[in-house]
Amino acid sequence: MQLYRGMDIGTAKLTPEERGGVPHHLLDIWDVTVTASVAEYQRLARDRIDALLAEGRWPILVGGSGLYVRGAVDNLEFPGTDPEVRARLEEELTLKGSGALHARLAVADPEAAHAILSSNGRRIVRALEVIEITGRPFTANLPGHDSVYDTLQIGVDVARPELDERIARRVDRMWESGLGEEVRALEARGLREGRTASRALGYQQMLAAFAGERTEEAARAETVRATKRFARRQDSWFRRDPRVHWLSGAAADLTELPQLALALVERPVTA
C-alpha cells in the first residue's frame, strides 16, 4: 500500500527526514485509483533490483505482503486472465458478497481460502478465476521455495500478546496523527473507487464511517481487529518458508536486533 501516493499515515510510510538520505524505491508511484497486481509489481521490483545489482548495490526488500515479496524474488509466473470469467465472478461478488465467494473458494482450495481474508473480494475473485482457467487449485500456481536471486530472508518475531498491544497502539497513533483528514483528502482523489487502495487497513474502515455505516470509534476498533487478523495470516504465510531466519523483535531484544541481523548478512559475504 506504500506504493500509493498520499497513503502515508495508515501505512506508516517513512517521511523523507526519517529515510535519512537512503534511497527508497517504489514509494508513491500510483494514484489511489490504480488497481494493484502482483504481476505488475514483480516487473517494477525486478527492474529496480536488477538496476541496483548492476550498480554494485544490495537492495533491501522490506514489507509484510507475502505474495508480493515472493513475486519480487521467487520463481513465480502468473496465469493469464479471462475477461469473461473475471466479469462473471465480479458480478457474483457484487450480487452475493465476498463471503459467499470465499465459501466457494474454501471448498475448491482450502489453503487459498485460509490465506485470503473473506473480505478481500478482489483476491478471492482472482483465485477463483485462476482455478477455473487452469483447472488446478490457486495454490498450485504458487512457486516452490526457489529464488531467482541470492537472497537472505529475515523475519522479525513478536509474541502474540505484545504484538496485539503494539497493533492497538499503532492504530491509536494513526487516528491521532490525522488518518481521518488523510482519508478525506484521498476520497476527493478517487479513493472510494480504487479497487485496491480502498481496502487498505484503516482506510476501508474510515470510508465506512464517512458513509455512515459505523461510528469512527467503531471504525477504529474494527481496524485493530482486522490488523490482528492480517498479522496472523502474515505469520502463517512466512512460517511456511524454511528460508526465513527468525529473530526476536520483542521490546526486551530490540537493542540486539540490528546486530543480529547484520551478523546474518555478513556471514555469507565474508565466507
Segment 12-27, tens digit of pLDDT: 999 999 999 999 999 9
The chain-wide mean pLDDT, for the chain, equals 92
> Which residues have CB under 8 Å from 249's CB, separation 6+?
156, 157, 158, 257
Question: Which residues form the domain of 89?
Answer: 83-134
> Domain of 100: which CATH number?
1.10.20.140
Q: What is the pLDDT, as a whole number, of residue 66?
A: 87
For 82, the 3-state DSSP assignment is coil
Residue 53 lies inside a defined structural domain of this protein: no
Question: How many domains does one find in the chain?
Answer: 1
Grid cell of 103 as nine digits: 465459501
Segment 40-90, tens digit of pLDDT: 999 999 999 999 999 999 999 998 788 899 999 998 877 778 889 999 999
| Alpha-carbon gap, residue 110 to 203, rounded angstroms | 28
User: What phi and psi, each to the nearest 5 degrees, are found at residue 248?
Assistant: -75, 130
Beta bridge partners of 246: 155
Q: What is the pLDDT, as a whole number, of residue 43?
A: 94
pTM of the shown model: 0.80
Residue 97 lies inside a defined structural domain of this protein: yes
For 22, the 3-state DSSP assignment is coil
| 229 within 8 A of 138, measured Cβ to Cβ | no
Residue 87 lies inside a defined structural domain of this protein: yes
Burial (Cβ within 10 Å: 0-12, 13-18, ≥19) of residue 251: exposed
Residue 5 lies inside a defined structural domain of this protein: no
| Alpha-carbon gap, residue 192 to 236, rounded angstroms | 30
| 136 within 8 A of 89, measured Cβ to Cβ | no
Segment 172-213, tens digit of pLDDT: 999 999 999 999 999 999 999 999 999 999 999 999 999 999
Beta bridge partners of 154: 245
Residue 94 lies inside a defined structural domain of this protein: yes
